[in-house]
Each structure stands twice: as structure tokens, then as C-alpha cells.
Amino acid sequence: MSRYNQIPTTLGPNPTTNSQDRIPRLANSKYPSIPRSVNDIYVYTTTGDRYDILAQQYYNDSSLWWIISTANAFTRQDSLLTPPEIQIRIPSPSRLNEILSAYKSLNSLIL
């Protein structure tokens, strides 16, 4: 199973006149803002920590790495690696349904 199976595809802006625009592409995802909660978990990262591994540890699903990355917008958003020796916020697992619902709403996915 590919981690990209659930991502919708789109065509380029001029598929009728440009053959390159007829090639399906992965659509961009929009991520919801994730406000702080008293139930959030705070951890200090170490060298080698990754968002997908933390998501597996806290949510039992490594594909939810983007939740932790989005909650820590001050970190690099183009890498699964966390900066070492900083404190990051992990949104509480009890908030997953709320966060996933907001994600699906932003990306027009069927619930």
C-alpha cells in the first residue's frame, strides 16, 4: 500500500492544449491550524527523532506525521526530521477526530 493512495490527483491548468498538463499530478494538501490545548503533550527532541516515528508512538499511525509537524510550524516543514534538542508540541491523541475532520473539510474529502 502506497502512502500516496489517499491523495487526490489533478491535471495541469491547460490539459486540452498542453500534453504535459494531461499527466495526473498529486493535488496539494491544505493543513488546518492546530490550536494549543491543555491536553497536548510536550517533548524534547533528540538527534534522529522524526515526525513519522513520533506519530507512530503517540497515534499508532505514522501517516499522521503532518499533525505534529503542523502543530510546530516554527520547525522546517519540508522534512520528517525534527530539530534536535528543542521542545515540540504533540497534539493530544484525544483530538485526532477533530483535527482529521478539519483536514478532510479543507481538502473536500468524503468523511
The predicted pLDDT at position 76 comes to 83
- Cα(47)–Cα(31) distance, integer angstroms: 26
Residue with the larger pLDDT of the pair 89 and 74? 89
Pick from 29, 24, 57, 31: nearest CA to 43: 57
- Cα(42)–Cα(24) distance, integer angstroms: 40
The predicted pLDDT at position 7 comes to 66
pTM of the model: 0.76
